[in-house]
Chains A and B, each alone.
Chain A
Amino acid sequence: MLTIADKTFSSRLFTGTGKFSSSQIMSDAIKASGSELVTMALKRVDLNNDQDDILDPLLSAGINLLPNTSGARNAEEAIYAAQLAREALQTNWLKLEIHPDPKYLLPDPIETLKATEKLSEMGFIVMPYVHADPVLCKYLEEAGAASVMPLGSPIGSNLGLKTKEFLDIIIEQSGIPVVVDAGIGSPSDAAKAMEMGADAVLVNTAIAVSRDPVSMAIAFKEAVTAGRRAYEAGLGNCSLQAQASSPLTAFLDVL
C-alpha cells in the first residue's frame, strides 16, 4: 500500500482529467483505471455558458481530488490558486505546478521551492511537479513536501522517461513518495517507472487522447501493477556478457 500524508492508496496509478472528449468518457476511463487520486485544474466560471460538471461523477465514485495550480507563473500566484482550490474543493491536497513558459511547460524550481515552504506551513499537502532534479527534490522534502512529482519528459509530450537516470537517483535518495509525472506515453513507460521503484505514476494525456480511453486506462492499470510487482520481486542484474541459463551442451562431449 502506498501512503502519502494521511491517505493510503491501493492503486499506484494516478490520473488526470484533462483532454478527454467528454466527461462521460473521462469518468468511465478513470473508474476503469482504478485510480484513487485524480488531478483537476481551476478556471474562472463563464457566466454565460458553463455546464461541464465533472465533479459529481468523480466524487460519487469516491475518488480523491488533487487540484493543481496550472497557470500560476510564480509562487505568489500559486499560493493564491492553492487557497482558491482549497475553498472550491474542500481539500488541502495540492499538485503544485508553476510553469512560466507555455512552450515547454517546464517547472520553475525556485518559485516551486518557495511556494512549497509557504504552502506546507499553511497546512497544505503539497505534491510539487518538478524537473527530475535530485538536489531540488531533497530541498522540497526538507521544505515539507508530501511527495515529489518529477517529470519523465514535457507535459503531454508522450516521450516517456527521458530523465530515467535522474529519476533513479531521486528514487534512491527520497524519503518521501516519488510520483513520476508528465510525459508517460505508453503503459511500458509506466511499467518501467514502477520497475525502477517509483511509488506511483501520474498519467493523463496518454489515456485521454487514446482511441479507446477506457481500454487504455486498463492497460495502464495492468502495467503499473506488473511494474510494481516486478520491483517488489527484485529484478536480476544486467550484464553485457551472456550468463548461461541452460547447462549448455556439455553432454555432447561424451559422444
Chain B
Amino acid sequence: MQIMINNQLIEVDTPITLQQLLKIINQPDKGVALAVNRQIISRNQWQAHTLLEGDQITLIKATAGG
C-alpha cells in the first residue's frame, strides 16, 4: 500500500506498524515525534498502531534553533 511520510509517497508491505515503519525508513526512534493524519501518536503506542492505505505521516525531530 501507499502512504505519505513528510509529503513523500512511499510503498510499504502490509500490515505495518509505526514502529516497523521507522525501521524500514532507517530512522532512529529517539528524539523524534510522529503524527498520523495530524493526530499525534505517543511513543508507547507506536508498536500497536497499524497504518492504513493513504495515511499521512508526519515525522519530526529536533534541530538547531534559537
Q: Using a CB–CB distance below 8 Å, which chain A residues touch chain B?
A: 16-20, 23, 26, 39-47, 50, 52, 54-55, 65, 67-68, 70, 80, 83-89, 155-156, 202, 204-205
Could you tell me if A155 and B60 are in contact, using CB atoms closer than 8 angstroms?
no
Question: B residues within 8 A CB of A17?
Answer: 64-66
Within 8 A of A (CB), among B28-66: 30-35, 38, 40, 42-43, 58-66
Q: Using a CB–CB distance below 8 Å, which chain B residues touch chain A?
A: 5-6, 8, 25, 27, 30-35, 38, 40, 42-43, 58-66
Q: Is the interface of B mostly helix, strand, loop or mixed?
A: strand
Question: A residues within 8 A CB of B61?
Answer: 42-43, 45, 50, 88
Residue from B40, B58, B60, B63 in contact with A54 in the complex, judged by beta carbons closer than 8 Å:
B63
Give the tally of cross-chain contacts (CB within 8 A).
96
Could you tell me if B32 and A88 are in contact, using CB atoms closer than 8 angstroms?
yes
Bound CA–CA A45/B57 (angstroms):
11
List 14 A-B pairs, Cβ < 8 Å.
Answer: A16-B65, A18-B65, A19-B66, A39-B65, A43-B63, A47-B6, A54-B63, A55-B62, A65-B62, A84-B35, A85-B33, A86-B33, A88-B61, A88-B62
Given A55-B31, A84-B40, answer yes or no on A47-B5 (Cβ-Cβ < 8 Å): yes
Bound CA–CA A54/B63 (angstroms):
7
Residue among B6, B34, B62, B66 with most chain A CB within 10 A? B66
Give the 9 A-B residue pairs with the shortest CB-CB distance, closest first.
A41-B65, A16-B66, A204-B66, A87-B33, A88-B33, A84-B33, A18-B66, A17-B64, A43-B63
Residue among B38, B43, B63 with most chain A CB within 10 A? B63
Residue from B8, B35, B66 in contact with A205 in the complex, judged by beta carbons closer than 8 Å:
B66
Residue from A26, A52, A65, A88 in contact with B60 in the complex, judged by beta carbons closer than 8 Å:
A88
Given A47-B6, A84-B40, A89-B31, answer yes or no on A54-B62 (Cβ-Cβ < 8 Å): yes
Q: Which residue of A lies closest to B64 (CB)?
A: A17
B64 → chain A, closest Cβ, in Å? 4
A56 → chain B, closest Cβ, in Å? 8
Could you tell me if A83 and B40 are in contact, using CB atoms closer than 8 angstroms?
yes
Bound CA–CA A88/B35 (angstroms):
11
A42-B60, A70-B65, A80-B40 known; 9 new pairs, CB 8 Å cut-off, are A17-B64, A45-B60, A50-B61, A52-B64, A54-B64, A55-B31, A87-B34, A87-B43, A155-B66
